[in-house]
Amino acid sequence: MRVSRFAKASAVQRVEEGRYQVELDPGFGFGEIINGGYLMAVLVRAAVDASPHEHPMATSANFLRPGRPGPAEVWVESRKTGRTATTARLSLVQDGRPAVDATITTGTLDPEAPPTWSAEALRLPPIEECLTFDSGRGERGFADQVDMRFDPAMMGWLDGRPSGRLEQAAYFRLRDGEEPDGCSLALAIDALPPVVLNTGGIGWAPTVELTWYMRAVPAPGWLTVHGSGHLVSDGWFDEEVEIWDSAGRLVAQGRQLARVGRGK
């Protein structure tokens, strides 16, 4: 069976109880800085491996310093193991220092369970009318690992015409063809360009804390990712993300606090 690029890049190897090794893949970064969603996917792999449950129901992660390409460890400390949910504390450690601390609660979702009530999905333009960051021009990191098609109405910041609204939206899938699951939802929840770009923000906008929930097992196909925010103040902004699957179900929700980028 073919193993996808993302599965290989986020794989963890258990070396002893509560300890895992991982090689952080530069292909899921921006220069020397690894994407936060990819780091969460690595933590999710370890949490699920150490749990009797297969789905990352709730993840709360604090980003202490940037992850860099190369070897790292994941430390897992079980806090509670139950019939419906298991909770663990995890640390992604690199060069002897924690880069990400997280609490992850795993559970088991019924993929056939219908929602009792649900909000409506955001309607994006047809995929063929959306914008893309062209790939195939050499290894450019994260943009070469994911296929994202952006709503043109929310991408004015690219040519100096930011919309003035804290909002971004795109279709999302992995370029290697792997269908979405709990680990790729962790990646997708932090895949959009920062919403603050549409209010004049520039440069890297580092995430300080991110909490997200897996709400349903995603159907195969494209995901729709919508990000919005409420406030930019004193160098900080918030960003909320909803992810919908190809069947129109809400499959993930997230909220993060981040710093406004200051350029180079």
Structural domain includes residue 52: yes
Tokens of 179: 């269908």
Dmax (CA) of the chain: 52
Asked if residue 114 is part of any domain, the answer here is no
Closest CA to 124 of 223, 57, 197, 25: 223
CB atoms within 10 A of CB 15: 10
pLDDT at 160: 85
Q: Which two three-digit tokens encode residue 13?
A: 């190897």
Asked if residue 37 belongs to a domain, the reply is yes
pTM of the model: 0.94
**What pLDDT is attached to residue 136?**
43
User: Which of 68, 109, 65 is closest to 252 using CA atoms?
Assistant: 109
Number of domains in the chain: 1
Structural domain boundaries, residue 224: 5-109+125-259
**79 belongs to a structural domain:** yes
Mean pLDDT by 10 residues, the chain (264 residues): 86 97 94 93 98 98 97 98 96 97 98 92 94 61 93 91 94 95 98 93 89 98 98 96 97 97 62
Q: Identify whether 264 is part of a domain.
A: no
Strand partners, 209: 62, 257
Q: Looking at residue 11, which CATH number applies to its domain?
A: 2.40.160.210
Taking the CB of residue 2, how many other CB atoms lie within 10 A of it? 7
pLDDT in tens, 169-194: 999 999 999 999 999 999 999 999 99
Residue 148 counted as domain residue: yes
Residue by residue, DSSP assigns 77-111 as: EEEEE-SS-EEEEEEEEETTEEEEEEEEEEE---T
Please tell me the predicted confidence (pLDDT) of residue 159: 85
Question: Residue 116 domain-assigned?
Answer: no
Q: Given this model, what pLDDT does residue 202 score? A: 80
Residues 6+ apart with CB under 8 A from 29: 35, 38, 67, 69, 141, 142
Whether 118 maps to a domain, the answer reads: no
For the four alpha carbons of 51, 94, 257 and 186, in that order, the dihedral sign comes to negative
